[in-house]
Amino acid sequence: MSQTPSHRWWPEHWTGYELLDAGDGARLERWGDYVLDRPDPAVIWPPSADVSAWNEADARFEPTAKTKGFWHQNGRQLPASWGLEYRSPRLHLQFKLELTGFKHVGLFPEQAVNWEYIAEHIGPDDTFLNLFAYTGGASLAARAAGAEVTHVDSIRQVVDWTRENMERSGLDGIRWVVEDALKFAEREVRRGNRYRGIVLDPPTWGLGTKGAKWRLEDQIRPLCETVADLVEPGGFIIMNTYSGISPTALEQLWRATLPDATIESGELCLRTVRGELVPTGSLVRVLNTQ
């Protein structure tokens, strides 16, 4: 029997954020001063913490449809938005958080694994591209390391949110692009532009600026082929997805796309305060591209 190592990565530097517990299809998380209880279908095991810890959450997300719902607040009124700090030996970033109707608060804390990787592997005057960039943790990490950063997301309000995160973090100079990520990437290939580092986190359903929808399974190959044409020789690509595509499948796709690259894949996780791992998505790193 032969085996290749399967990775599990989780962030290690959070102080403002803590995963207090996970169980029965939910996460109990501290986001700065506030504790939230929200659904996570990956959590199929029972909780470890006492039920009283869960009952003390400041707000609990009640789903009303597959991706929508509302927050039920438990006594203490939460502010419309509040701040969260990420501080590690390499990075000092600030984020604005808000309770959204999609169970999210404006940040995927496991992404700190990618921020650290980016900050370590990119430097001043390198070019960096963040596709499907959301509230921009990866863009901030690359900019903090001195890179020329292009941030692409098709939703203007999300880009405005990132601009606020950039300013809170004491950074500037990020290039904003509100556009369909694949269309932008194809245009960049035609223009002959190349990037030292590229991160992409495509959702299950892509949404263009004019509301046009595409399914990831239909776009994933053109997306990877285009990104492969955009990366500099010796550069890196980080792809992760929360769409249920396995790390092995992602790795195979990249092996077929860039056969000479060094590729590692695994699960992006969060770790509870007791040390239990909670899987959040699949991650692949494509390194030393030719």
Ligand X SMILES: C[S@@+](CC[C@H](N)C(=O)[O-])C[C@H]1O[C@@H](n2cnc3c(N)ncnc32)[C@H](O)[C@@H]1O
- Nearest approach in angstroms of CB 38 to ligand X is 16
Among 79, 203, 222, 234, binds ligand X (CB under 6 A): 203
243/252 with CB nearer ligand X: 243
Q: Does 180 bind ligand X (CB under 6 A)?
A: yes
Q: Does 93 bind ligand X (CB under 6 A)?
A: no
- Nearest approach in angstroms of CB 226 to ligand X is 12
- Nearest approach in angstroms of CB 77 to ligand X is 27
Q: Which stretch binds ligand X (CB under 6 A): 38-46, 150-158, 189-197, 266-274?
A: 150-158
Say if residues 233 and 289 touch (Cβ distance below 8 Å): yes
- Nearest approach in angstroms of CB 224 to ligand X is 15
Among 42, 158, 249, 277, binds ligand X (CB under 6 A): 158
CA separation for the pair 136, 172 (Å, rounded): 13
207 token code pair: 């949404």
CA separation for the pair 189, 241 (Å, rounded): 23
Buried residues in 115-134 as b, exposed as e (16+ CB within 10 A)? bbbbbebbeeebbbbbbbbb
48/104 with CB nearer ligand X: 104
Q: Does 174 bind ligand X (CB under 6 A)?
A: no
Helix (H, G, I), strand (E, B) or coil at 286: strand
DSSP notation for 152-203:
E-S-HHHHHHHHHHHHHTT---PEEE-S-HHHHHHHHHHHT--EEEEEE---
Q: Under rule CB under 6 A, how many of the chain's residues touch ligand X? A: 20
Give the footprint of ligand X on this chain (CB under 6 A). 108, 111, 132, 134-135, 137-138, 152-155, 158, 180-181, 201, 203, 206-208, 242
